[in-house]
Structure 1
Amino acid sequence: MNILITGANRGLGYHLTTIAAQRGHHIIAGIRASSPDGQLLELINGFPGQIEAVELDVTREETIARLAEKLKTAGQTVDAIINSAGILLGRGVKLEDLQMEDVAQSFEINLFGPMRVIKHILPLMPDGASRVVINVSSEAGSMSNAYGGDYPYAISKTAINMFSKQLRKYVKGREIRVYALHPGWIKTDMGGEKAPGDPVESARGILDIVEMKKEIPDEHFFINFKGEPMPI
């Protein structure tokens, strides 16, 4: 499969790229920089020809449009989009102390970013149930379990859940699968050292969903990395 992964140089995105490469997929690894370095560069060198690092800043639509045009010109299609790039701001901040700039930036990356990616890349995706769009969300985005905190992050994730539901309706005739996905509270730069979850296990579960190794009822669109339904 040809899989586009945003935020591929760190956190969950890096682990998704690693597992996808190990399983023999071709990965378009979206990063904000013009060229890869560090652990992603090492990974690319370890899987020659499988991982293509591309400049893709989800806040800069021109980088996404440029990638889409490049793929189109090369006759490349995309079988899966995993919108993994995300940001967590204002953690534990009381409403009275909330910086609205943090809210705006959270929406810019956690909602508008995936929308920009899908806007330009969806036309490159063939029809069929083997194709999938996964928007990485969070249990924090559950309205029924709202806990009155982490406002920028939680509200932006609720919004990406809504967009995922809308997108699912939009592509229903094309049979493309769409999920908002909770990867678990995992030990990454964002999740922190206290997180109980393993990002490798989460990445494996997500790739199982991409590869249709898990049977997920049609009515479930907000799921966890095991393919289980999340409370909306």
Structure 2
Amino acid sequence: MNILITGAGRGLGLQLTMLAAKRGNQVVVCVREVSDTSEGLWALAARHPDQVRIESMNVTLENEVAELADKLSKESAKLDGVINNAGVLLGREHKIGTLPMNLLKSTFDVNLYGPMNVMKHMSSLMSDHSGANVINISSEAGSMASGYGGDYPYAISKTALNMFSKQLNDELRPRGIRVLSVHPGWIRTDMGGDQAPMEASESASGILDLMERKTVVDEELFFVDYSGRAMPV
């Protein structure tokens, strides 16, 4: 498969890239700035020069997304999958009374508008009726049924991302493209922290099983966890 992954410089994105390459996939790795790319990603690209391609693309800047899409199109590239992994968690320490409202905009720019920018320009490069998939990395925090008082920017942005996933799934279904919003689990990354019970590599394996359709998900579902289990909306 030819897979595009955003936010792939470290954490879950890096684990997804490593495992995707190990499974023999071709990966377009998108990072906000090439100069900020982790040594692990550079080492991976050096080991797999024919499989791992690093590209600079800030998902919050539509012009950069459009430029990369145009570049790939001119190369006659086709995508079999997109993983919208780039995300931020801001303002965790605030309740509503002290919440800086600019953090909502910054969070939505990455967590919601970023995936929308990507799919606006990359969906035309996706192969029809070939088992292609879009995976938007969401969170259980985006479940309205499990809502809690806190993490306002993050939780609300992920709820909105779930809605976008549902809408996009309905739009792309006639092309045979499946869209899933996926809770990756509580994993040990910079965002998840050291107390998280699960390694990012375990989550990455489950997410790639979804991408490769090794894990079968009922057609009516659009919000699942990394193992394909239905999440409460």
- 2-structure distance, mates of 1:61, 1:11: 24
The one-letter code of the counterpart of 2:183 is H
The C-alpha deviation readout for 1:86-105, integer Å capped at 9, x for no partner, is 00001131110101111111
Q: Secondary structure at the match of 2:190?
A: coil
Q: Between 34-43 and 110-119, report the one with greater CA deviation.
A: 34-43
The C-alpha deviation readout for 1:122-173, integer Å capped at 9, x for no partner, is 0011112510000000000000110111000000000000000000111121
- 1-structure distance, mates of 2:164, 2:130: 19
Displacement after TM superposition at 1:37 (Å): 4.8
The answer on whether the counterparts of 2:80 and 2:132 sit within 8 Å (CA) in structure 1 is yes
The answer on whether the counterparts of 1:129 and 1:177 sit within 8 Å (CA) in structure 2 is no
The within-5 A match list for 1:39-50 is: 39-50=40-51
The one-letter code of the counterpart of 2:17 is T
Q: Secondary structure at the match of 2:144?
A: coil
- 2-structure distance, mates of 1:37, 1:198: 18
- 2-structure distance, mates of 1:129, 1:224: 23
Structure 2 equivalent of residue 222 of structure 1: 223
The answer on whether the counterparts of 1:6 and 1:83 sit within 8 Å (CA) in structure 2 is yes
Structure 2 equivalent of residue 18 of structure 1: 18
Q: Secondary structure at the match of 1:54?
A: strand
The C-alpha deviation readout for 1:62-91, integer Å capped at 9, x for no partner, is 111111011110000011000000000011
Q: Secondary structure at the match of 2:105?
A: helix
Structure 2 equivalent of residue 7 of structure 1: 7
- 2-structure distance, mates of 1:33, 1:147: 34
The within-5 A match list for 1:151-230 is: 151-230=152-231
Q: Secondary structure at the match of 1:171?
A: helix
Q: Matched residue pairs, number? A: 232
Q: Is 1:68 the equivalent of 2:69?
A: yes
The answer on whether the counterparts of 2:129 and 2:176 sit within 8 Å (CA) in structure 1 is yes
Displacement after TM superposition at 1:34 (Å): 3.6
Displacement after TM superposition at 1:42 (Å): 0.8
The answer on whether the counterparts of 2:80 and 2:130 sit within 8 Å (CA) in structure 1 is no
Displacement after TM superposition at 1:117 (Å): 0.3
The one-letter code of the counterpart of 1:223 is V
The one-letter code of the counterpart of 2:139 is S
Q: Secondary structure at the match of 1:133?
A: strand
- Deviating 4+ runs (over 2 angstroms): 34-37
The answer on whether the counterparts of 2:4 and 2:28 sit within 8 Å (CA) in structure 1 is yes
- 2-structure distance, mates of 1:131, 1:61: 23
The one-letter code of the counterpart of 2:112 is L
Q: TM-score when scaled to structure 1? A: 0.98
- 2-structure distance, mates of 1:118, 1:203: 21
The one-letter code of the counterpart of 2:72 is L
CA RMSD of aligned residues (A): 1.0
The within-5 A match list for 1:72-87 is: 72-87=73-88
The answer on whether the counterparts of 2:130 and 2:176 sit within 8 Å (CA) in structure 1 is yes
- 1-structure distance, mates of 2:138, 2:119: 15
Displacement after TM superposition at 1:191 (Å): 0.5
- 2-structure distance, mates of 1:130, 1:114: 20
Which blocks of at least 5 consecutive residues in structure 2 are unaligned? none
- 1-structure distance, mates of 2:38, 2:155: 31
Q: Is 1:95 the equivalent of 2:96?
A: yes
Q: In percent, how many aligned pairs have the same letter?
A: 50
Structure 2 equivalent of residue 144 of structure 1: 145
Structure 1 equivalent of residue 120 of structure 2: 119
